[in-house]
Amino acid sequence: MHELSERDAIAFFRRSYTAVDGLWFMKVEERLGFEAALEIDAAVWQVVPKIQARALQAMTGQQRGLDALCACLTAKLDWESYRYETVWREDHSALCIVIHECPWRDLLRKSGREHLAAAVGQRICNTEYAVWAREFGEALHFELGRCLCCGEGVCELWFRHGKVYVISIY
């Protein structure tokens, strides 16, 4: 008998988490249509980031500001198997997380639903990361720059105090 490790448990729960997300979306879509499923998904992603951010704030002791946001959000991205880099403005006034590979986009592609990626990515990422920003300070704002789901080479997640002025890094 194979003894299961903590690594096995992590892989199991990661797969379960992504499977549940995709399956519930498809079941809602079957019953109510794509637009309704996307609207409900966006409502869910207005809550999930609060739970995730608050848990990571408690785990790391990082509470407010761009540095805390960077520490907590990159932990989440690591655990979800994103491939990314962080880029700070020279004066440390803005953070851009540049995503090169996104597991959620990869799942859409593998399931033959890549044609939905632009609508899903724009709606859900704008919702999710705006919530992440607010959890680390009311003055923090988010703006989505380039987007993998829209056929661009990377996603650019811009965070800063005040209005975000997106300037592509690439």
CATH code: domain of residue 59: 3.30.1380.20
CA–CA gap between residue 132 and residue 158 (Å, rounded): 12
Considering the entire predicted model, what is its pTM? 0.88
CA–CA gap between residue 165 and residue 142 (Å, rounded): 10
**Paired tokens of 31:** 């019953």
Structure confidence by residue, pLDDT tens digits, 75-111? 999 999 999 999 998 888 899 999 999 999 998 999 8
Structure confidence by residue, pLDDT tens digits, 35-71? 999 999 999 999 999 999 999 999 999 889 999 999 9
Residue 101 domain flag: yes
Q: Contact at 8 Å (CB) between 70 and 86?
A: yes
Q: Which domain holds residue 62?
A: 6-161
Residue 169 domain flag: no
φ and ψ at 169, to 5 degrees? -85, -30
Q: Which residue has the higher pLDDT, 13 or 132?
A: 132
Residue 170 domain flag: no
